A and B are shown apart, each in its own frame.
Chain A
């Protein structure tokens, strides 16, 4: 078991022949991901890294069964690609692209909700069910099978902590990148619920950062969880964020600081690590 994706997940890559897409398709194939096709408008008919390329998502679906797509399309036109995948009925859409305008994000997140699709990101490293399926960009070598579910807002920090966990002998069931932008498809709470229900996952590591109130939201659910949660929050030393005007302040209700997040998480029963290296220490005590 794992969450969302596993060894049977059939994946397509939108933007397969681009700079990012072409590098990461090789890495995903090397990891063992079942990539069944790619999409690059205008390049339909060629084979790339052994994978057939089509002009549109619809053309792929006429020939293949598809469970998930990963978007490596530049920000200015990413919305088109995401909408194309959602409209075609693909159930899992992983949006790697960063710098997408927020109004575009709001629109495709809303459409995903209406279509009942799982949207991961945007601006995410993707999702990786260790040893089974990697959809996205994390380096392959640090993700080994194990009992820890990992969810993170940041990419590199997730790799850092995954590496430290692996070095201490703890692999991950699944690692999910929630994405670094203000709005996201899947949130901490939805991901935590999936980990709570996953028999392979015995503990969860949550990697957050200052700003927004995703961690405070997560705390409300962590209180109900039976599985232990270890959290690390980046940004303790950061100078106060620039305020987004009064309207923003009202919505956030003053939440979003390091202290506020640590307090909410601790109160909910999560163990908060001061330094990244404390994460494997706490996990090893919990799972000993």
Chain B
């Protein structure tokens, strides 16, 4: 879950990592006022995307008037697909040296990793491999000052110098944000020395969505469509796609495989929907309604019941069918696994014969979509 730069910087500040003096504004007059207070500033569009500099989303202003005209231009603009609603107006620093610093998770090593380089300020992908330091930590042991001291030494700084001491503190604070805020990424590029002092000039923070329950103080940005939000509120995993066959499956693996098989037969899936194991009739019924609302040509339900029970799925279908406008599009259902016979019987009573083989069922769904009347899809 990505958060805006200014929210990341608020976190940094809270954990003792200095950030440039700045103000968040949402209109041009506020931008001018902020610049009048701060002096020469950098105006930064607050969007959840990297490469803002290259897209004109980061601009310098020497006077309040300049800040105002830049703000007028940026607010309401669309940068890299994102609408700019807020700007961070920040003190322009006199930069003496730039570093790259990040803490993230190395999946393969199953541990956190600190990544640092004394070539900050440019895309880290462009920094030669031998100039990037990667230091793994042990999640259970956690972070220690000696680890930070080793990194600083290897970056070529004198540990007795003011810069060396500041950088040790900055690494410890960054790691603390990573650990205490359940981040999967904390990236600062650049981390700068301005005179004797260190500042995080940027903040890219991604929080683990599974830890939301214990990170309630972080304002999250909803980066999803209305339908995706509806599904996520039900605890389901849903991604919108461009095709015309709506898909419901249980389990991420089988849901992905279902899309692959539909494509194999020449169909195009309208979405990825994983109804997580153990889901009840009510939730499945509501997710079916979500699929119907997108007006697909065909709905394909592919269930291999482990903890999802086939009779719950069948009951959900019947429930939606009998309600209000019912179900106007063809539905292909494949049921197998836990309570499959019960599920099949329930469907037979309303005239639906469930498939047992998913490839056969997928082929049928594709065939039905191909002969559906034009215009029945949105």
Write the residues of chain A forming the contact surface with B, with a CB cutoff of 8 angstroms.
19-20, 23-24, 75-76, 98-103, 106-107, 109-111, 113-114, 125, 137-139, 152-160, 163, 180, 182-184, 207, 209-210, 212-213, 217, 232, 234-239, 244-252, 274-277
B:76-127 near A, CB below 8 Å: 102, 104-108, 110-113, 115, 123-125
Cβ contact within 8 Å between A114 and B184:
no
The residue of chain A having its C-beta at the shortest distance from the C-beta of B132 within the complex is A250
Smallest CB–CB gap between A216 and chain B, Å?
9
Q: A236 and B260 in contact (CB under 8 A), knowing A246-B50, A247-B115?
A: yes
Determine the distance from Cα of A250 to Cα of B132 in the docked complex, in whole angstroms.
10
Q: A114 and B140 in contact (CB under 8 A), knowing A98-B276, A160-B358?
A: yes
Report chain A residues within 8 Å CB of B337: 139, 159
B:44-80 near A, CB below 8 Å: 50
The residue of chain B having its C-beta at the shortest distance from the C-beta of A277 within the complex is B359
Q: A245 and B139 in contact (CB under 8 A), knowing A157-B257, A159-B337, A209-B253?
A: no
The verdict on B277 contacting chain A, using a C-beta distance below 8 Å, is yes
The verdict on B187 contacting chain A, using a C-beta distance below 8 Å, is yes
Cβ contact within 8 Å between A276 and B359:
yes
The verdict on B4 contacting chain A, using a C-beta distance below 8 Å, is no
Determine the distance from Cα of A100 to Cα of B277 in the docked complex, in whole angstroms.
15
Determine the distance from Cα of A75 to Cα of B182 in the docked complex, in whole angstroms.
14
Determine the distance from Cα of A251 to Cα of B136 in the docked complex, in whole angstroms.
12
Determine the distance from Cα of A174 to Cα of B117 in the docked complex, in whole angstroms.
46
The residue of chain A having its C-beta at the shortest distance from the C-beta of B305 within the complex is A139
Range of interface residues on B (Cβ < 8 Å): 35 or more
Determine the distance from Cα of A246 to Cα of B102 in the docked complex, in whole angstroms.
9
Report chain B residues within 8 Å CB of A75: 210
Smallest CB–CB gap between B273 and chain A, Å?
13
Given contacts A101-B210, A213-B107, A276-B359, 10 further A-B contacts (CB under 8 A): A114-B140, A125-B306, A139-B306, A156-B254, A163-B304, A182-B107, A235-B256, A237-B262, A251-B106, A251-B113
The verdict on B39 contacting chain A, using a C-beta distance below 8 Å, is no
The residue of chain A having its C-beta at the shortest distance from the C-beta of B362 within the complex is A275
Write the residues of chain B forming the contact surface with A, with a CB cutoff of 8 angstroms.
50, 102, 104-108, 110-113, 115, 123-125, 132, 138-141, 179, 182, 184-185, 187, 189, 204, 206, 208, 210-211, 213-214, 239, 241, 249-254, 256-257, 259-264, 269, 272, 276-278, 304-307, 336-338, 358-359
Q: A237 and B259 in contact (CB under 8 A), knowing A155-B251, A276-B359?
A: yes
Report chain A residues within 8 Å CB of B260: 234-237, 275
Cβ contact within 8 Å between B256 and A156:
no
- Can you list 11 A-B pairs, Cβ within 8 angstroms, ordered by A? A103-B208, A113-B110, A160-B257, A212-B107, A234-B257, A245-B102, A245-B104, A246-B50, A247-B102, A248-B104, A251-B108
Contact pick for A245, options B50, B108, B132, CB 8 Å = B50
Cβ contact within 8 Å between B261 and A275:
yes
Q: A23 and B307 in contact (CB under 8 A), knowing A114-B140, A246-B125, A247-B187?
A: yes
Determine the distance from Cα of A256 to Cα of B179 in the docked complex, in whole angstroms.
26
Smallest CB–CB gap between B354 and chain A, Å?
15
The residue of chain B having its C-beta at the shortest distance from the C-beta of A180 within the complex is B252
Determine the distance from Cα of A23 to Cα of B280 in the docked complex, in whole angstroms.
14
Cβ contact within 8 Å between B105 and A137:
no
Report chain A residues within 8 Å CB of B254: 154, 156-157, 160, 234
